[in-house]
Amino acid sequence: SNPMMALNLMKLHYCTGEQWYLDRAKELLEIFTAEASLHPMGCGTYFSALDYYLRGPLEAVVGAGRPEGEGLARLINARVDRAIVLLDYGQAQRLPAFEGKAMLGGKPTVYFCRRGACEAPMNDQGKVKAYLEKHH
């Protein structure tokens, strides 16, 4: 369906940074606005795509050493739209996603972000689980 294509185009935009994908997705969403307002029960995919457009993807940046970081990465990987995991934190300065981020107390640390704005860093698995249950 066209709303599913809009959703896929938005995901391509966030993965590649190509503005063209987001522009086409917005056009598709605008085309179906009238239809969705007349028949909201039949437009579930449209509303999912619209929600994704308005909120943006949930991203997680995880800095950790092995093996403790692997469990944290598995916990978040299936629950966020995009995860960037660095298991050798000594190389963090080479990746733009890790700029300004550090491990707290030498423990694996997660930063949850939407549209470039990040929550306070977390390194307690219980808090990470609670955040994922609440926000995804």
> CA geometry: angle at 132 spanning 42 and 81, to 5°?
60
What sections of 17-108 are H helices per DSSP? 19-31, 33-38, 44-55, 68-77
Tell me the per-residue pLDDT of 20-37, one tens digit each, with 9 for 90 and over. 999 999 999 999 999 899
Determine the average pLDDT of the residues in 68-89. Answer: 74
pTM: 0.72
In contact, 11 and 57? CB cutoff 8 Å: yes
pLDDT category of residue 47 using cuts at 50, 70 and 90: very high
pLDDT reported for residue 101: 76
Answer for the pair 62, 72: CB distance below 8 angstroms, yes or no. Answer: yes
